[in-house]
């Protein structure tokens, strides 16, 4: 069964902070929860220009034993649900899990990106414990989608709509996985209509391939 390994890497966290300061999204304003002084340090600058100052700003937090405790606690909790999660995900998405191992890096801000090629994602230190577990499921589902369905769907509806679909499909976490972490995956405001459509159609027929075809038709209207 695949495993998730939890780690903290200061360099990756600093780069995530920097990217977030310079990241624009149609889905969500990730900058709004950043402190103004962090934006002043990193916005409209290269990583090399602001790395030292960012590192100094986050020094106390990065050296805190709380990060180590969070990593260890998440690892222990995820291990309890790991096998059941991957068993369900493989059954629902109808494809073998795309990797034997995934790495979850702790970040000290609210934006949690993922890398579908290197099979890693980030989860925020400031999320509640149960929401952190939900985030893990959310990001792994994205990685699985990228490695199994993305290319074929993009050919039919284009990159932007495929990205919307990838995000909206995480509503299935609320229907099939909620008993593993007991909180809802809310998704982004701009995807709520599509999430409602997916939820309705999934309840009618729990077949992922059929669901995707319905979504493609819906998004092509």
Q: What is the pLDDT of residue 91?
A: 98
Q: What is the pLDDT of residue 75?
A: 98
* Residue 25 scores a pLDDT above 80: no
pTM over 0.75: yes
Average pLDDT over residues 52-67: 97
Domain positions in the chain: 3-147, 152-219
Q: What is the pLDDT of residue 23?
A: 87
**By C-alpha distance, which of 115, 10, 21 is closest to 67?**
10
Q: What is the pLDDT of residue 32?
A: 83
Q: What is the pLDDT of residue 205?
A: 98
Average pLDDT over residues 71-96: 98
The string of pLDDT tens digits covering residues 108-133 is 999 999 999 999 999 999 999 999 99
**Res. 31 pLDDT band, cuts 50 70 90:** confident
Q: What is the dihedral of CA 69, 70, 71, 73, to 10 degrees?
A: 80
Q: What is the pLDDT of residue 29?
A: 79
User: Which residues 6+ apart lie within 8 Å of 220 measured at CB?
Assistant: 156, 157
**Res. 107 pLDDT band, cuts 50 70 90:** very high
Average pLDDT over residues 57-62: 97
Instruction: Give me the chain's average pLDDT, please.
Output: 96
Distance separating alpha carbons of residues 89 and 173, to the nearest angstrom: 9
φ, ψ dihedrals at 44, nearest 5°: 60, 30
């Amino acid at each position: 069964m695949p495993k998730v390994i939890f780690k903290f890497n200061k360099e990756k966290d600093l780069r995530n902070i920097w990217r977030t300061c310079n990241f624009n999204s149609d889905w969500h304003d990730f900058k709004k929860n950043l402190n103004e002084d962090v934006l002043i340090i990193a916005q409209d600058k290269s990583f090399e220009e602001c790395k030292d100052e960012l590192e100094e700003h986050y020094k106390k937090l990065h050296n805190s034993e709380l990060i180590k405790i969070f990593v260890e606690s998440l690892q222990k909790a995820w291990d309890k649900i790991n096998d059941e999660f991957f068993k369900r995900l493989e059954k629902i998405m109808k494809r073998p899990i795309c990797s034997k191992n995934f790495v979850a890096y702790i970040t000290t801000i609210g934006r949690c990106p993922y890398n579908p090629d290197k099979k890693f994602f980030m989860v925020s230190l400031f999320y509640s414990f149960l929401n952190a577990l939900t985030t893990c499921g959310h990001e792994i589902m994205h990685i699985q989608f990228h490695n199994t369905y993305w290319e074929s769907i993009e050919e039919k509806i284009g990159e932007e709509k495929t990205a919307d679909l990838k995000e909206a499909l995480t509503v299935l976490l609320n229907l099939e996985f909620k008993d593993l972490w007991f909180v809802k995956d809310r998704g982004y405001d701009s995807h709520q209509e599509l999430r409602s459509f997916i939820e309705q159609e999934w309840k009618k027929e729990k077949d992922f391939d059929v669901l995707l075809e319905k979504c493609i038709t819906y998004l092509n209207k």
